[in-house]
Amino acid sequence: MPASETPNLDFAASLFDMDGTLVDSTALVEQEWKEWAKTKGLDSESVARSSHGRRTEDVIRQYFPLADLDHEISTFIRLASSLDQTVAGPVPGAVQFVRGLVPHPWAVVTSAPQAIARQRLAQCGFPEPPVLIGADDVRFGKPDPEGYLTAARRLQANVSDCLVFEDAPSGIESARRAQIRVVALETTHSRNQLLSCVVVRDFRDLQVADIGGGKLRLMIASE
């Protein structure tokens, strides 16, 4: 992005996706779904590809629409928790970026269940989010806007004052339906898959300044 086109964005509250945005967990998430697929006799590669940015229950419903969801989700969580979680680590610059936001409001909106999300964030060194919206907190997963709208409401922030950080097309669409501005990270998908958003490599391309009045300014490094 040329310097003349590099935007500075003013905002008051930050809403983060987790997997692929804060946590470099692509390999771990795919491993979880491949292991689950093996137990169900499904094609593991196909299931893993279909899982990105989606709630556990939505992936399960795709393959077993009549399944007992509570049982299947519990089974998946147990299986996922048994795997080596140290495979996942923070996205470059993410922990420092989030810590630099305090005391300004921020939230995590993830397609992962609460139990997995809290475990993964703590393991990667993130502070506990003031608000965490997991798959079990919404009726509809991304690309539905419910998760981001719920997070903004719990932070008592206007959507016009929020900024979403995402890595996946489904999450970007979710934020757009909520009428929230988006910064996309090129950590999981290529730029041409990120719906013409402001796109950065990762958090190393971002800086934040406190401009007073409860507002922050996001400055994006030019290429």
Instruction: Tell me the catalytic residues.
Output: 17, 19
Bridge partners of residue 8, in order along the sequence = 219
Sign of CA dihedral 171, 70, 89, 14: positive
Q: Give Cβ neighbours of residue 181 (< 8 Å, ≥ 6 apart).
A: 9, 11, 162, 163, 164, 175
Separation of alpha carbons 28 and 86, rounded Å: 9
Half-sphere exposure of 54 (CA within 13 A, CB side): 15
Which three-class secondary structure state does DSSP give residue 163?
A: strand
Separation of alpha carbons 30 and 179, rounded Å: 30
